[in-house]
Structure 1
Amino acid sequence: MKMDDIARLAGVSKSAVSLALSGKPGISAETRERVLEIARESGYAPKPRAASSELPSRSLSFLVFTNAGIVLEEYYQQPFFRELIHYIEDRCRSKGYSLLFSTVNMNHFDRDIRSIAEIQQSDGVILLGTNLHPHEITEIAERLGPQLVVLDNCFDTLPLHFVAINNVMGAYQAGEHLCRSGHREIGYIASNVRIHNFDERREGFEQALRDNDLTLSPEHTFAVAPTMISSQEDLKAHLKLYLEPGRRLPTALFCECDYIAIRTLKTLTELGVRVPEQVSVVGFDNITESQIVSPELTTIHVEKKRMAQLAVDLVIESIELGEETHTKIRVDTRFIERSSTKKA
């Protein structure tokens, strides 16, 4: 069976089939699933083709498991992942490798990981581990082999390569800045979808408060959806409920990611709360949009370029040198002060 046949059976264009099989964005989840189902039933196994003889003969796969909470079906459009992928592609080109994309919906984890293992054509895999748990990463590694690096997550007990953010350090930097700026009533806006990164950020932030003789009050802790496409209404409802008895907001709020922080800025403005005059706001990730909002967002810079380079280099080292010793790398963060914070 050819791609033209799959396109005819699925009732879509050949280009849509190509996007579905490569895992790239640009089609709906329903279309992608329909194409993949037809391909599986027909035993179709796509073979990577070079557009010219000058293109690399070796390739890496960027493997993503999407869900409704953190890594969306349109993950390529999410600012953090968009930047990360850009740097991965650059590093692959500089090392003489092409980059293929594979996307799996978490609802079909078992079935689709088997399919990927059966038709795996690349020399190694960079697994985006942001939203994955240890048992899921273990199963993926067992099926796909040793030439694999997990990016944006780290579990110390798993014998695999990991490249992750130093989340504890970053959140500690945020908390330390607010404390040194004289804030004594500090709030925390968490994601209501929990991942390892967010748990580490909570740990680092609370450590900074403890080191400054402060604690995080439960009444100053809020939880909202963590993605940019989420509505601001849930956060507005939380804050309105808090303010109803005549209480004042904390003088500063730390948000577990920039997506939440940007929604917080907009929500506070709608509630008539001035930032940073009444409330300072700090985010985490330093996505490009953090400089577009008003006021510009104080945040924690994640070295996405460095993480991408390390991930590519580690998997290529495994491929070319057969290195069996695993490495776990946590890349340090930088505090970026902009105009969304001020001294208390």
Structure 2
Amino acid sequence: MSKKVTMQQIADYLGVSKFVVSKALSGKGGVSAATKERVIQTASQLGYFAQKNAYVKNINLGQPLPISTAGSRQSVLVLMPNIRFQTKDSVYWGRILDGISAKTEAEGLGMVIVSEQNVDNFLHILNPNGILGMVGVGQISSSLLLEAHRVGVTMVLVDHEDPLIPTDTVFVNNYDCMYRLTKHLLATGHQEIRFVGDVRYSRSFLDRFAGFRSALEEQGIPLRDDNLTRLGEEGEGEEVIRQWAARKKRAHTLPTAIVCANDSIARDMIRVLSELGVSVPGEVSVTGFDNIEDAYRISPALSTVHVPKEALGERAVIRLLERVRHPGEPLEKILLAGEVIYRDSTADNRMRS
């Protein structure tokens, strides 16, 4: 049996006092943000968070799950910080929330949506004794997740994972879907294919890029250094795409196919190419990912990957209930199957003269 990782071991590793480590892990003040980050990173590397009863206090775990009680019902906290386009009104994130809402209602549970980004404010909201557990949706800072973990809140993350926080996660099979989509483009004669999407934005984007890269490598096609994997901050993406595409057109180096990390990026790409007088799919095929509601309304209708968004939310609630009932089970990374949909924005490059 491996030995328990202690705060003193973390302190010795970093050359700081046990008091500093305790402060950093407790979420209290008294240490700088940089020191807190170093302590958390080291604790994670040493396996401190993964061991039982070392850091978190479990609440109401191992007991039969009371779905509802007389005069009251338990609630699931849904944490979805309002960052970038990650809102309940989003055609992507909003559908995941719909799935969570439908499943909690079916189980007789309440749902409380929290869009807080500030850790201190989140602590005032967070009451582990008043909630059954938490579903985190989309990109969430490590500091917020750490506070939920610290007080013992059972949680499941949707479309996100954090290397510091051991927890169940639910994703679509991003890698496999993008691999299949890219393989289709290769099979239809596209050799010059580029990826567009900020791989720093989410784990899903990174996995989609990995699937794209693997499909190329399997065919012996080198990964070019002109893939657009950095789009900047919110609001800058379309302008970065416009500059990239204009530069490519001037140099006569436009690829025959552009694989976008999601449908919103693909929509921007089609609009930019149209402004530049480039025909889609006559000159360049464009694909998206997610199959948002507008995907088939785009002109031309967008080839994409259908992500079962409501099912992601539903499955997260199911996993949360399973985790509460059986806290000792191994953590799971659940992958739901996506479906590649071919529409009018892609064309067979072998048919071109």
TM-score band by shorter chain is: 0.7 to 0.9
Q: Does 1:302 align with 2:307?
A: yes
Return the structure number with greater helix share. 1
Distance in 1 between the 2:156 and 2:227 partners? Answer: 38
Q: For residue 170 of structure 2, what is the aligned residue in structure 1?
A: 163
- Structure 1 vs Structure 2 CA RMSD: 2.6
Distance 1:140 1:259, change over 3 A: farther
The range that moved more, 291-300 or 163-172, is 163-172
Report how far residue 308 of structure 1 moved.
1.5
Secondary structure of 1:318's counterpart equals helix
What is aligned with 2:102? Answer: 90
Task: State the match for 1:59 in structure 2.
Answer: 75
Query: Is 1:241 the equivalent of 2:257?
Result: no
Residue among 179, 195, 199 paired with 2:202:
195
Match of 1:232 among 226, 235, 238: 238
Q: Which whole-Å CA distance do the structure 2 matches of 1:333 and 1:87 have between them?
A: 16
The answer for the alignment partner of 2:152 in structure 1 is 145
Asked whether the 8 Å contact 2:263–2:304 carries over to 1, the reply is yes
CA contact (8 A) 1:91 1:309 kept: yes
The structural deviation recorded for 1:268 is 0.8
Once the two structures are superposed, residues 168-190 of structure 1 have per-residue CA deviations (whole angstroms, 9 ceiling, x without a partner) of 11211221111111101111112
In 2 relative to 1, CA 271–171 (structure 1 residues): closer, same or farther, beyond 3 Å?
A: same
Aligned to 1:23: none
Q: 2:255 aligns with which of 250, 255, 263?
A: 250
CA offsets, 1:137-191, max 9 Å, x none?
Answer: 6514423524211111235785321112222112112211111111011111122
Deviation at 1:77, TM superposition (A): 1.7
**Which TM-score applies when normalising by structure 1?**
0.74
Shift in Å, 1:225: 5.2
Q: Of 112, 121, 124, which aligns to 1:112?
A: 121
For residue 136 of structure 1, report the CA deviation from its aligned partner: 3.7
1:192, 1:225 within 8 Å by CA — same for their partners in 2?
Answer: no
CA deviation after TM superposition for structure 1 residue 341, in Å: 0.3
Say if 1:153 and 1:197, in contact at 8 Å, map to a contact too: yes
Q: 2:286 aligns with which of 281, 289, 292?
A: 281
**Paired positions, count:** 280
Structure 2 counterpart of 1:175:
182
Identity in percent: 25
Paired with 1:267 and 1:144, the residues of 2 have a C-alpha distance of: 48
Residues 180 and 333 (structure 1), Cα distance of their counterparts in 2 relative to 1, 3 Å cut: same
User: What SS does the corresponding residue of 1:77 show, helix, strand or coil?
Assistant: coil
Change (3 A) 1:282 1:57: same
The answer on whether the counterparts of 2:199 and 2:209 sit within 8 Å (CA) in structure 1 is no
Rounded to whole Å, the distance in 2 between the matches of 1:182 and 1:159 is 43
Structure 2 gap ranges (5+): 1-68
Contact kept? 1:220, 1:250, Cα under 8 Å: no
Structure 1 counterpart of 2:132, one-letter code: D
**CA 1:308–1:277: 2 relative to 1, 3 Å:** same
Aligned CA distance change for structure 1 residues 61 and 255 (closer, same or farther; 3 Å): same
C-alpha distance in structure 2 between counterparts of 1:64 and 1:111, whole Å: 16
TM-score by length of 2: 0.72
Deviation of the 1:305 alpha carbon: 2.6
Aligned partners of 2:134 and 2:153 also within 8 Å:
no
- CA, structure 1 residues 120+336, in 2 after alignment: closer, same or farther (shift >3 Å)? farther
Separation in 2, partners of 1:151, 1:313: 12
From the superposition, tell whether residues 145 and 266 of structure 1 become closer, same or farther in structure 2 (CA, over 3 Å). Answer: same
Does the 8 Å contact 1:285/1:302 carry over to 2? yes
Q: What is the Cα deviation at residue 55 of structure 1?
A: 9.3
Match of 1:131 among 129, 139, 147: 139
Q: Distance in 1 between matches of 2:103 and 2:275?
A: 42
